[in-house]
Amino acid sequence: MLPRPPSLARIRWRRRARSLAGLFLLAALAFAAWVWLPAPVTTVPLVHVIDGDSLTVRQEDAPLTIRLTGIDAVEYRQDCTRTGAPWPCGREARSALEKLAGRGALHCELAAKDHYGRTLATCRTAAFPDGIDVGAEMVRQGWAVATSDAYMVEEAEAQARQRGIWQGGFVRPTDWRAVHERPATALTPPDA
């Protein structure tokens, strides 16, 4: 007896199954590329340093506020203690970022926005990828604490060598912000 040829319904089902498998494979490859490929690097001119981990750059003729990822620097208005006396570590952190970023362009990998609307980014000086990682250097110099595993070695080095904020006492920036909340701005003009 000869084998029966497959029915028309079975042929259609196999074609659909192969099509679905192909679509699934394409979707999986697209997802893998999205996850593992690095973010595009954008070259942006520095406009202004806000504090030790935030700066304003110009992108497409508009200002863009960037928050460096993986670090948390002491706040601009924050003081630390050194030999029992207060000193303006927040202002020094800002000065350190100004010196580090310089006047040239930064090469930034832009990511998502935070809850304040700032663009999260990893930025480098000079030519990418050989430039200095600005966030890593701020932690290495002791002006910021690491918020990710990426900069833990730099933080340990700064702490061991008592650089920046590690040369005395300080309140972690997250704790300092919790106590020193900025006052809410008025929603109506003062003359209303």
Nearest Cα to 154, choosing from 68, 76, 84? 68
Q: Whole-model pTM?
A: 0.72
| Residues 177, 182, 184: CA angle, nearest 5 degrees | 140
Kindly give, in sequence order, each residue whose CB lies less than 8 Å from that of residue 136, ignoring residues fewer than 6 positions away.
70, 150, 151, 154
Q: Flag the least confident range among 33-37, 63-67, 121-125, 133-137.
A: 33-37
Domain map (residue ranges) of the chain: 41-178
Between CA 41 and CA 147 the distance in angstroms is 22
What is the architecture of the domain spanning 41-178?
Answer: Beta Barrel (2.40)
Q: What is the pLDDT of residues 73-107, one digit of tens each?
A: 999 999 999 988 999 999 999 999 999 988 778 88
pLDDT digits (tens, 9 = 90+) for 140-185: 999 999 999 999 999 999 999 999 999 999 999 999 999 987 654 4
- Section 22-46 average pLDDT: 64
Q: How far is CA 18 from CA 14, 32, 42, in A?
A: 6, 21, 40
